[in-house]
Amino acid sequence: MSTKVVEIPAVWIAGASCSGCSVSLLNAVSPTVKNLLIDPIIPGKHLNLRFHSTVMAGQGEPAMQVLQATRKADKGGYLVLVEGSVVGQDDGLYCTIGEVGGKQIAFQDKLLDLARDALAVVSVGTCASFGGIPAAHPNPSRSQGVKQALDQAGIKKPVINVPGCPPHPDWLLGTVAMVMLKGLPSADDLDYALRPKAFYGKLIHDNCPRRAYFDAGRFAQRASDPGCLYQIGCKGPLTYADCPTRLWNNGVNWCVGAGSPCIGCCEPTFPDDVQPVFEKINEDRLSRFQIKTRG
């Protein structure tokens, strides 16, 4: 006897981004993107991803109409997955996502439209979560994160931030799976920056295999040296993510394991407060950063 599968509608829209978050999702291994699109990734539940501006075959006005149709038909029941930051300069004129009736649709407007009637919004990557690189000083495009844009527009909708530049595919798929399994996260499931504690609950520095070097004062002077990478810019002492234990590329390695300092890519103040990337963070910045990150 076949069991009825519940469809959870979702749309993925992209603003000011490099599409790296999409690429990271395409690299998912367990489940794969094919599993995500075709199979129920939670028993009895299937994520019905209807629109993905980078990888979908559909284009033009018929594709744009899918967004509007989802908003109308599934009011209050669909997820909006957002990649990239929200460009505000000149009413969002410099970041459009398509045309309807010959009129350019600003990403900012479409995001606010869709968010109003969504179940929740998932910000995929640091740009969508906090503004990220497009919002770096001096931010001429007046870019910002999704939560900030919704707050400004007075839209009170649950937002879950899944930062990273890019985010690990497990962080995104795990977050979506949690919502499908248990519903929206409680305040206790998220940290002060609305990141799921399941993935962002621990400091990188506390789980780093080079930590014994740090404690012993043995510091690398070059990326190829053994030793702790703190003196050459590692931001692991300020960054919350499970990279040292989860690893990347199907468990092959991670930034510090490959000899590169962690650049703090999951933090709300990335990239302004973590540069220069390959220089030890100075004490003033360290204390400012800690105040911000620990709320």
One DSSP character per residue, 241-283 reads --HHHH-BTTTTB-TGGGT-----TTSTTTTGGG-STTSPPPH
Q: What's the half-sphere exposure (Cβ side, CA atoms, 13 Å) at 83?
A: 23
Any catalytic annotation for residue 95? Answer: no
Any catalytic annotation for residue 234? Answer: yes
Any catalytic annotation for residue 18? Answer: yes
What is the spatial distance between Cα 208 and Cα 107, in angstroms, rounded to a whole number?
A: 39
Shortest spacing between CB 216 and ligand SF4, in angstroms: 11
Beta bridge partners of 200: none
Closer residue to ligand SF4 in complex, CB, 135/234: 234
* Structure token digits, residue 161: 């931030």
Closer residue to ligand SF4 in complex, CB, 112/243: 243
Helices and strands: H and E segment counts in the chain: 13, 9
Of all residues in the shown chain, the one whose CB is closest to ligand SF4 is 236
Shortest spacing between CB 241 and ligand SF4, in angstroms: 4
Residues that bind ligand SF4 (CB under 6 A): 164, 204-205, 208, 210-211, 214, 228-230, 234, 236-237, 239, 241, 243, 254-256, 262-263, 265-266
CA 133 centroid distance within chain? 13
Shortest spacing between CB 247 and ligand SF4, in angstroms: 10
Any catalytic annotation for residue 243? Answer: yes
Catalytic-labelled residue, pool 52, 95, 168, 234: 234
Q: Angle at Cα 121 formed by Cα 12 and Cα 273, nearest 5°?
A: 95
Closer residue to ligand SF4 in complex, CB, 135/255: 255
Any catalytic annotation for residue 266? Answer: no
Catalytic center residues: 18, 21, 127, 165, 205, 208, 228, 234, 243, 255, 262, 265
